[in-house]
Structure 1
Amino acid sequence: MSYDYDLFVIGAGSGGLASSKRAASYGAKVAIAEHDLVGGTCVIRGCVPKKLMVYASQFSDMYQYAQGYGWGEVEPTFNWNKLITAVDTEVKRLSQLHISFLEKAGVELISGYAKFIDAHTVEVGEKTITADKILIAVGGEAVKPNLPGIEHSITSREMFLLPEQPKRFAVWGGGYIGVEFANILKGLGSEVTQIIRRDLILHGFDEDIRSNIQAGMANHGINFITQKFIEKIEKNEEELKVFLNGDDTEPLTVDALLCATGRKPNLAGLMLENAGVEVNGKGAIQVSLDSRTNQPNIFAVGDCTDRMNLTPVAIAEGRAFADTEFGHQPRFITHENIATAVFSNPEGATVGLTETQAREKFGDNIKCYTARFRPMFHSFTGSEEKVFIKLIVEINTDLVLGAHMVGKDAAELIQGIAIAVSMGATKKDFDNTMGIHPTSGEEFVTLR
């Protein structure tokens, strides 16, 4: 049977862009559909604009720290509109850049929502398109709990569009999105409260990472309300009144409330049932290791599969799919030992197993090496900032199972250490490595 395309990709985010260009490089005729700006969550309303705002938020501390090194006191001012405009301009520039990359690769971009007619046919607007293979790469979206007044809250999607900086800002949720935005707004001068239903933020991370980041955030002036959830929200003129559970809790009055309680695969409107594509109990597309759905010609990568929801993972999954199906180089991505970071203040990063995971797998046959110290940078700043590092080692094999860090440049350091962990480095390998002095990184190779 003849098809319009060898591959049709739904979603021009990280995974869709990577897979379409890689497939086209093998000579496949490829089209990609996108109803929003090209680039997906990461480029448009995720890691890229968020990291730019993280950079902006860090200057407030630097003005103060500089005084310890002999710089004169200054009275800085911050312009929210200038930052938001600059971020928006950069996002649009990157989106256009990705469009040009598609053009150079020979991938046709089709604007609009795509939905399935059958396993080989999709509809985009008034166009009906057939394809031999179809890849779903539609990502995820923020979700809000169903409670009175929730429409007055915002999600991460709207954070980059606020016309004014909220002076009083609340975050509901303790995941990395909520944690990062809490730190951003605090660094930019807002009064910030974070509401979490547990004792600690960042559920699923190593316990020491969680406690050290939360303590550091508290030292920077972020107020935590723990073991609470929101019952209702009321809007009063320009402010919000947030009511929490428990008779002993006073309502919280804020200018904006970020709802960061979770995300889900963005499958609405795809009409997956027309193609017979199965969705699992978590509301994600069910796939095998090679990203294939239950339909032999339909595949899915990235957040819509809810495996490991990180941009580099979606890119890797997309390229592995294209290599396998069009490059005749069968391979799939392992989701073990994937490094990740939280761009908070202090920053946190991790690779490999947490201590809890290691003990579940190896029992008492593990040993944890830790250090907590003041970084040299803060010798003159007067800050109480600390760096925390941790290696988790399996005693019998000496293998390093996990590496964790809280402190300045944690992400940059853990990225390098992730190579060693992925290659199966032992504690002896770390010990035999010369440190760079004086750095925080050298502590990883001097732990005893």
Structure 2
Amino acid sequence: MKPIPYLCLLLAGFLVVVHCNHVPADHDDNHDTETQEHPSSVHRNPKSKTPVCSIACSNADFAFRFYKQVTSDAAEKNVFFSPLSISTALAMVALGAKSTTLTQILEGLAFNLTEIEENEIHEGFHDLIQFLNRPDNEIQLNLGNALFVGQELKLLQKFLDDVESLYGAEVCFSNFQNSSEAEKQINDYIEKKTHGKISNLVQDLDPFTVMLLTSYIYFQAHWENPFSDSLTHEADFFVDEKTTVKVKMMTRDGLYKSHFDDELSCEVVEIPYNGNVTSLFILPDKGKMKQVEDALLKETVGKWIQSLKERRIELYIPRFSISGSYDVKEILQRLGVIDVFEDHADLSGITGNPDVKLSKMVHQALLNVHENGTEAAAVTVVEMVPTSLPPVIQLNRPFLMLIIDRSTDATFFMGKIVNPTEK
């Protein structure tokens, strides 16, 4: 039987929080008290209904479904990935899919096809990419896509037009017959787009590959209220009842929005970045991680956000750097996306013939969390002389973390930190 050509799909989701080299002279905690618009409230005005709004809920559902599949295999391991990177890449594939293959992809991405048209989905991703890549963004965020195409592959012009106009994808030609040359070309591209943080993602390229798609995210942001380097100290982190590791524990006394969920027995703290992006840290009580994970849905997160109240907190959070690598193909098959990986895949919208299938889909993400620049130290030290002792929240046992864009509800990154010392 003639071997079927392969399409490969590679995803590089990357997050880094770096030192802030300059803190404005008027930077103080007064900014804490400003009213912030949260993801759950952004779209209440029906006039604001846009393509981005149409895909927001499904993207959130996909993020939590994917997370639960990942943790079912590694309950006691660190988890970190970019659901937005994965869903964007798969949506690009959907541009060329037809029949059952198309239905499985879109339903696997948590879209209800009785409520949303296919063109609305692609318009939503287009608007989201355009909005997040806007030049006036206070954070550094680059969300992009690329196609590496074999010289012998003839793509339909409509597919090329759509992938470029809707997803802003760069189209590059590759010589897949020379695997080492193609691997170097693609790895160099990914390394450049992720500022050197993700390298050698493409390995053992299949000789029958005819096209490779990649979707990447690079995100860099400063804490709205930095931690002081001088206050970071060594402390215990309790991985489980038998394992304790030493970590560099950052600390800050200031105003934070938080909520304790009595039903799920977990503390939720919002730590905002400069700009329109925020992070949620979820700290379950001892022995309650599984209970919280089982309830992890967009409705749960929405309820947490609505319940957040600002108060003064003495916050302790470890400095850590973790990464995650995943075989997305295997996880998607469990979510019902099957045909696109089989010989009977219908990706005829790519070449005009149902003669290609996806062979591989991998994802790598990296997270680095630490203090901001030392120019904020004086402000922080002053805040550490309270007139009364504030409540203390110590993230010194396994916790969850979400990075969310407030304007679009997009979940950039999602993770579980079980052991901060494991890279």
Which TM-score tier does this pair reach, normalised by the shorter chain? under 0.3
User: If each structure's strand is expressed as a fraction of its own residues, which one has the higher value?
Assistant: 2
Normalising by structure 2, we get a TM-score of 0.27
Q: Which has the larger radius of gyration?
A: 1
